Amino acid sequence: MTTYSDPPSESFQLSMLVNDTRYRSITFQVVALILLAAAIGFLGWNLMRNLALLGQDISFEFLGEPSGYDINQRPIPYDSQSSHLRATFVGVLNTLIVAFLGCITATILGVVAGVLRLSNNWIIRKLMMVYVEAFRNVPVLIWILIIFFVMTAALPPPSAFRGDDPDSSMLFGAFAFTNRGIYIPRPIWEPGSAIVVGVFIASVIGVFAYRRYTTRLLYDTGKLLPRGWPSLLILFVPTLLVFFILGQPISLDLPALRGFNFQGGTQIRGSLIALWFALAIYTGAFIAENVRAGIQAVSHGQTEAAASLGLRPGRIMNLVVLPQALRIVIPPVISQYLNLTKNSSLAIAVGYMDLTGTLGGITLNQTGRAIESVLLLMLFYLTISLSISAVMNVYNARMQLKER
């Protein structure tokens, strides 16, 4: 006779929450969650109670009121009668402008410096080492201020361009370098200019198509067509032809000294230049190190193998080493882009009206809504950073080694 006995059915006991490994981890997570929620709850309660004691409340109504202040760099129409919200968006756009310019310049500087740091030429190698170490190890705020003050002190004020025998003169009659910024010509779009732009865009696409064609031809038949001068030809000849056939529909608005300042053209303000270059050379130094690390992580055997196939050093770098190094370089570079964007909040040091200068500066100060403004400020920076991160992660995923 066989007797079957069920395993003793364990009734659930409270002690099992701690002693039983099946439940223990959940127990602790729940406890941690409750504690966290309680802590947040306490801080929130504390904030509201103290605000109430001070007779204040949380309200975002101030965003709709007229700001009352002017901003010098306005990517979108704005005046002192616009709302605080609009001033905030002007600030967001100014932040994005300097972050965009800074990231591109930093990448170029960083890649060049990173590659040259591994150069066989002693002087170039050491020069790049000095660049990286000097810029990486001095706070970026100092660089912003140095560039700004050097610009202010070294470049002439607009009044130096005045008179019959001025101390300063414009470069090519079109560019004015003053301590208030650089004035450059601005294109004036007349009817027909859209066609010229369209042809130019088509030319750019054409260049890519041509280069693709040569690559395929090379792989298929081994025949190497020249790429440099045909690319230039495709890029410029059709556009110039259309430009002259249509009777020069794009002209230039040259800056000229009128009254106190240069008028006309586009002004790139000293504050933007200082911020842009300081952020670019500072972050560029970090990117250079990332690039160097990436290159050195590519096995030296690859270089030697490529060399033994007869490739020249430039080709080895461009065709063999860099594509592999890029996979290693991209993730840390994303974080450098984020750093650059966040560091742009130092803009107020030189009076560049970015997000921190408008919402976190004048708006906060004039309305006295510190908590609301700072919360919004964090939200905007978070959104910008996460967006950059998302875009770069997509790029990173495309560049990653595809395992099949």
Partner 1 sequence: MKKSVFLGALTVAGLAAGAAAAATLDDVKARGTLNCGVSTGLAGFSAPNANGEWEGFDVAVCRAVATAVLGDPNAVEFVPTTGKTRFTALASGEIDMLARNTTWTLSRDADLKFTFIGVNYYDGQGFITPKALGVSSAKELDGATVCIQTGTTTELNLADFFRVNNISYEPVPIETNAEAQQQYLAGACDVYTTDASGLAATRATFETPTDHVILPEIISKEPLGPLVRHGDSEWGDVVRWSLNAMIAAEELGVTSANVEEMSSSTTDNPEINRLLGTEGNLGEMLGLEADWAKNIIMQVGNYGEVFEANIGESTPIGLARGLNAQWTDGGLLYAPPFR
Q: Which residues bind partner 1 (CB under 8 A)?
A: 39-40, 43-44, 46-47, 50-51, 53-56, 68-72, 79-81, 149, 152-153, 156-160, 179-180, 258-261, 263, 270-271, 348-349, 351, 353, 357, 361-362, 364-368, 370-371, 374-375, 378-379, 382
CA distance 252 to 184: 10
272's tokens: 């933007």
> Residue 101 CB, nearest distance to partner 1 (Å)?
20
How far, CA to CA in Å, does 184 sit from each of 96, 170, 255, 269? 21, 10, 7, 11
DSSP 348: G
Could you count the other beta carbons within 10 Å of the beta carbon of residue 183? 25
We find the least distance from the C-beta atom of residue 395 to partner 1, in angstroms, to be 22
Of 163 and 222, CB closest to partner 1: 163
Kindly state the smallest distance separating residue 18's Cβ from partner 1, in Å: 27
In the complex with partner 1, which residue's Cβ is closer, 217 or 378? 378
Alpha-carbon distance 243 to 237, whole Å?
10
In whole angstroms, how close is the CB of 10 to partner 1 at the nearest point? 37
* Nearer to partner 1 (CB atom), residue 133 or residue 167: 167
Considering the complex, state which of residue 203 and residue 271 has its C-beta at the smaller distance from partner 1: 271
CB-based contacts of 369-375 (< 8 A; 24+ apart in sequence): 369/59, 369/62, 371/47, 371/51, 371/58, 372/58, 372/59, 372/60, 372/62
Toward partner 1, which CB reaches closer, 153 or 401?
153
CB of 401 to partner 1, least distance (A): 29
Cα separation, 142 vs 349, whole angstroms: 10
Nearer to partner 1, 59 or 308 (CB): 59
What's the longest Cα–Cα distance across the chain?
124
Instruction: Give the shortest CB-172-to-partner 1 separation in angstroms.
Output: 23
With CA atoms as reference, report the closest residue to 84 among 375, 384, 373: 373
